[in-house]
Structure 1
């Protein structure tokens, strides 16, 4: 067994070394959702979700300074060399995309606002200022209302967007222009996930420090090398097997799911600690050899250990039903990872324990057994006295209160800015500044599609697009919008010598077509594609959002659907929705629709596993209690701290269902085992808490203290998940040590105590606790 295990581990280690740690944006999208289909169809023309915005802000004066405008031109030119850039979608004052329209007796003239040269004379700067102020597509959109900031936007081809390359290249360009009275801010999804990758070395360092802390705490609590090294070996080999499997399948490891990796590794450590603890108890009870002690420990704990593994894997695999590629990967790799625990911990730990030759003595003089014995003695006294009713009543009150408060949990982002990073992170400060100065850094577009070419030219269609923009502008989170209906009136006004009375749409489709032709004839390739396609069959109405909170997105989508229902058109149809906000809307809808389903299926898997293992449907309902309690408490904490249910937290929540019941399996199975030898429920509870309870206590305390170290991470998501893991572990341990024994003592379920157990008022036995200590 050991030879085969070592050989497989070495082979898997070779594959694990090749696993790629990166974020693949397409993995985050539910490809079957209608919004994503619209986004994929029109993203190259109307804008992808990889838009990056660079804001240059003058600390004194305004942007009409040759030095600042020179920085704008330098950045605009340098962005053309960034990997994966869509060169037709680089827009700034220094690009050819922003133009002014002038009319004369000879022709309609369209020329770039500031290309190819930066004006360096007072007259040139004054002319540029005047042109900006008279251009509604520039003033407010690319130059702030106070004239202190200007914006550069750049889009990337989603198929070629590699955040690991984009982030350092864009940041190098931006950093080179900082200073000299100019503040440079950079936002966008490639930058956000670039920051996550930037903090990857720190994440790995925290991971190593956490493991070191875990080693130290295990060593102190166990007082033996076997109690320290064997659980760590189980966790390490489990991780090697899982990462090797991911490499063989061709999956990458997203940096954000490293927390899930630690959570599953913690399960392997927990199972191994239980086996080592039981091995020590068997030796103390007089086992003749270490082989006999290892065999007895494995036979006694194989059932609850395997039941915990199957429950965890089953709860994890249901996440595969969420139609998002990242969730598929997390679900499959997570399930494989959990299943490896059956070998690395439940089988190999007792095998290795059987080789120990000198099990007596301790590795250090620090003795924490009095503390452990005190906690376990307290648990026995509480659950075997009238205080057990207070435990049950308290659990009911906590469940009701946390369950009601959990309804405040937000699907999607719960706060402005990115919840992945801290509010005071550079990225979130930059995003707040951009949203304060401009219409909004995040975009969503609705597509108006006609059955025939030229459908967009119809006056009724254009008027409805304009009405849609005005209707959506009432939502505070939407800072502005743009469509072709904003451009045509400007051309018509120029034709009438700038008279604002004529700033209106054409009265016929032919007139609108002529105005569009005049506009397009003076444009460069890609200028008009942001607004409509060359055949005038598809057009976009783009909305700028100041935040992408879940509530803001749902409100916008609902308002759009209401407007579409109230303004039907025969010649065109509306399609929702593209851009980053459209993508997030699809993800939120998928999570909202699948969240209850996933939790319900995970609970069903748990019920089936328990019913089969204990041959009783009541067993499934019995073990649901700690699961439901731990999850309602955790969800209420998420609602209180503003942690939304999103792509990052969904798999953690699913795995938490299995996590909430593992400890209970060991305690309850220990009670059943003791009742087979002595028909005394009080003594059975005390003995189970003295043996299995000690393993639960050691694991919970060491892991809880260790995961709290994640609070030091610069990535807020990892810190939040560290707190959630600690909370889950605490609630699960408290439920296993107090709630489950109290329920057994009060309700005496038949699958645990049998059908004819007498009620005894037996004294609380202290001997098992002392012996275990």
Structure 2
């Protein structure tokens, strides 16, 4: 195997003296002839954006998760004040492990829990419902005419007579299957949430809300009572709780990438520089988000991983080029400029292609996806400067270790000698596909696999195919709570609302009620419909 000995220091210095500092493109001269200024500017930007990153929030918004441009969703948002209790709502099911809900201790627990939930910021209090809510009423026909009142009367004292009266009121309330389970083993506290907290005008902090709910769960759960919670806010809160573990995975990713890169280069200083520049890109991205009015959500939180991985990939290419040039005896500054010339345009084209690919997600009319696209595109744009410009400049100062440079060059020469004498078995195998028989088999196999893929793709399902929240594990606490509520209540979180608009006061006209009643009968026959509720049905009950 041929070997290139390292050049003496005076030869390397001569190489630098012979280099024309005015050569290269305008961008190269601007950057490398002002290396110190560029480095200080990057340091200043890193400090400023690092400070800005401290104000980055991790949250989600209900409206960001839905396609607001869809006619159904637009109609819902337009009429959301008339649809209180639908949409962003928490359902807290209080289960009696022993006996039924008609127990003084159980009802007292529901009362205390309802009172505490009522005071949580962001709760739409006028529309909150539970057995203790005055708006939850019963209606009955007596010898004196129509009668009614709250399900739990004002004179309730927990006596057997009072409990029996509550049972009768529940049966006449029409809330069985809605607020009360059919087996009388549990009842629901329905908690509609506001778009913004009325007292402050700020958006709901779903992480804080989820933690508050968990505190109440821990306070009121016992060997007699179990608490089950479902709703968008709880899903997001659980996701944010789980995202704390992301930091552990991020640290593991940094350690693994650093170890792999060091194993390849055997140069600690250049490996740390590549990791540093990739981390600088992440810091810039996290600082730009709050500066531009963005925040991280449970979906875009994965973007920093992506930015770091892309930065490591491009950084390794720049470092490898500089390392090989230094191994040939080139001064580290000249090697950095040569590598910049060779790889800047190709690297920028690759990163711009990545940015455009992410930007295509903007066509999806869901804001959380659009925010993810913007965040990813910003991260890739930042890499153009941190890894294509800053990294070569820093390597022009530090260079690489002589041993690593010589090793890199020896590996390249070894590969050339191997190709000249005997190919590696793997490459020899791949060369077979350049011949007609092997190529024919490969093409035929590709066509067969393409046909199989096309056939299988016709069975592809879009949407949530499993019960519960697909973002969480099937055995997660939330999905177990969701399974309990679905099994015990006719009203799940999936509610289809048909709005019949009439002139003012005309909704109670006979012709309108007759039409609504006919529509309700049709809807009841649709597969998947568990129950329906309408003004026509209420009118029948009242009459």
Asked if 1:480 corresponds to 2:540, the answer is no
Structure 1 residue 153: Cα displacement? 0.8
What is the aligned counterpart of 2:82 among 34, 37, 45?
A: 45
1:335 lines up with 2:377 in the alignment: yes
* Aligned-pair CA distance for 1:103: 3.4
**Counterpart-to-counterpart distance in 1, 2:81 and 2:217:** 25
Is the CA contact 1:440–1:478 (under 8 Å) kept in the aligned structure 2?
no
- The whole-number CA distance in structure 2 between the counterparts of 1:228 and 1:392 is 41
Q: What residue in structure 2 maps to residue 36 of structure 1?
A: 73
**SS of 1:85 mapped into structure 2:** coil
Partner of 2:131: 93
Residues 262-661 of structure 1 aligned to structure 2 (within 5 Å): 262-284=305-327, 286-357=328-399, 359-361=401-403, 377=424, 380-386=427-433, 389=439, 394-492=445-543
Output one character per residue of 1:44-91: Cα deviation in whole Å (capped at 9) or x when no partner: 332342111111222222221111111111122222101111112111
CA shift, 1:291, in A, is 2.4
CA distance in 2, matches of 1:117, 1:173: 27
User: Residue 303 and residue 421 in structure 1: after superposition, are their counterparts in 2 closer, same or farther (change >3 A)?
Assistant: same
Cα distance in 2 for residues equivalent to 1:193 and 1:122: 42
Aligned to 1:74, which of 106, 112, 117?
Answer: 112
1:596-745 matches, cutoff 5 A: none
User: Could you list the runs of 5+ residues in structure 2 that have no partner in the other structure?
Assistant: 1-37, 198-203
TM-score, reference length from structure 2: 0.82
What RMSD over aligned residues (CA atoms) do the two structures have, in Å? Answer: 2.7
Q: Distance in 2 between matches of 1:231 and 1:45?
A: 56
Question: Does the CA contact (< 8 Å) of 1:413 and 1:419 recur in 2?
Answer: yes
Change (3 A) 1:489 1:451: closer
Q: Are 2:289 and 2:295, in contact at CA under 8 Å, matched by a contact in 1?
A: yes
Residue matched to 1:247: 290
Equivalent-residue separation in structure 2 for 1:349 and 1:391 (angstroms): 42
User: Distance between the aligned counterparts of 2:110 and 2:280, measured in 1?
Assistant: 52
Cα distance in 1 between the residues matched to 2:494 and 2:448: 44
Given that 1:294 and 1:350 are in contact with CA atoms closer than 8 Å, whether structure 2 keeps it comes out as: yes
Partner Cα separation in structure 2 for residue 269 and residue 358 of structure 1: 17
The aligned counterpart of 2:301 is 258
| Larger radius of gyration between Structure 1 and Structure 2 | 2
Deviates more, 1:226-235 or 1:415-424: 226-235
Shift of 1:105: 4.7
CA pair 443-43 structure 1, distance change in 2 beyond 3 A: farther
Correspondent of 1:144 among 169, 178, 181: 181
The CA deviation string for residues 471-514 of structure 1, in whole angstroms up to 9 with x for no partner, is: 3334453322222222211211xxxxxxxxxxxxxxxxxxxxxx
**Native 8 Å contact 2:101 2:184 kept in 1:** yes
CA-to-aligned-CA distance 1:236-274 (integer Å, 9 cap, x gap): 111122222222211111132221221122111111111
Q: Which residue of 1 aligns with 2:251?
A: 208
Please give the secondary structure, in 1, of the residue aligned with 2:178. coil
Tell me whether 1:233 sits opposite 2:271 in the alignment: no
Change (3 A) 1:358 1:304: closer
**Aligned twin of 1:103:** 141
Question: Is the partner of 1:176 in helix, strand or coil?
Answer: helix
Partner of 1:13: 50
Q: CA deviation at 1:455?
A: 2.2
Tell me how far apart the structure 1 counterparts of residues 486 and 531 of structure 2 sit (CA, whole Å): 11
- TM-score normalised per structure 1: 0.59
Cα 1:397–1:316 shift into 2, 3 Å: same
Deviations 1:532-562, CA, capped at 9 Å, x for gaps:
xxxxxxxxxxxxxxxxxxxxxxxxxxxxxxx
**Counterparts in 2 of 1:172 and 1:458: CA distance versus 1, 3 Å:** same
- Rounded to whole Å, the distance in 2 between the matches of 1:66 and 1:52 is 25
Matched, 1:221 2:268: no
Write the distance in 1 (CA, Å) between the matches of 2:124 and 2:348. 52
> Quick check: 21-30 or 302-311, which moved more?
21-30
Are the structure 2 counterparts of residues 164 and 397 from structure 1 closer, same or farther at C-alpha, using a change threshold of 3 Å?
Answer: same
What SS is found at the alignment partner of 1:199?
A: helix
Task: List runs of 5+ in structure 1 lacking aligned partners.
Answer: 493-773
Q: Give the structure 2 partner of residue 128 of structure 1.
A: 166
Distance 2:380 2:442 in 1: 32
| Cα separation, 1, equivalents of 2:454 and 2:386 | 37
